[in-house]
Amino acid sequence: MLTPVFSLPTYNVITNISNIYITNSSLESGESVSIEINGEEVLLSRRIQISQENVEALMIKRTLKSESNVVLRIKKPDYLGKSKWSFYFEDRVIEAKILDLSWLENFQNQQVDIRPKDSLRVKMLSKVDLADNGIIMREHHEILEVVEVIKYNHYTQLDLF
């Protein structure tokens, strides 16, 4: 009698299958991988490929979406194209594509001045993909609107007394 797959944690099952096929794809000609199921040896096909992207897609059980107004400190802007920028958000670095094309065009035409340590107040859409055990599989961020540029204040108040 086979154990139903759904009774095992999805992450463990998919990770183990992925590891088997990664090993299988790196074998030399004439080598093979087999597994034993209920006392019978089963030879695994070398033609089957499982990418990391497919493994993650199989593990995702739900996606949470949220739209919020946040302040992002600029780490790495895109001066020429429409690729993702890097930002400091809370205690980590995130990447986000700016979808506010009119603001982006103004920035790239030097009508918006951004200096090191400046921040952006933005309306951001975040999508978080979760596995069935609650583990975050991936995050995706998009900036829907740039509300304002927040200039870095490098002046510090001196103690006079």
pLDDT tops 80 at residue 72: yes
Fold classified for 61-150: OB fold (Dihydrolipoamide Acetyltransferase, E2P) (2.40.50)
Domain ranges of the chain: 5-50, 61-150
3-state SS, residue 16: helix
Q: Give the pLDDT confidence score for residue 60 in this predicted structure.
A: 83
Long-range Cβ pairs for the range 155-161 (8 Å, 24+): none
CA 139 to chain centre: 4
Q: Could you report the per-residue pLDDT of 102-143, keeping only the tens digit for each?
A: 999 999 999 999 999 999 999 999 999 988 778 888 899 999
Q: Of 15-19, 43-47, 104-108, which has the strongest mean pLDDT? A: 104-108
3-state SS, residue 19: helix
Which helix (H) or strand (E) segment holds residue 132: the answer is none
Q: What is the DSSP string of 51-108?
A: -HHHHHHHHEEEEEEEEEEEEEEEEE--SSSS--EEEEETTEEEEEEE--HHHHHHHH
**Of 113 and 35, which is predicted with more confidence?**
113
% of the chain residues with pLDDT over 90: 48
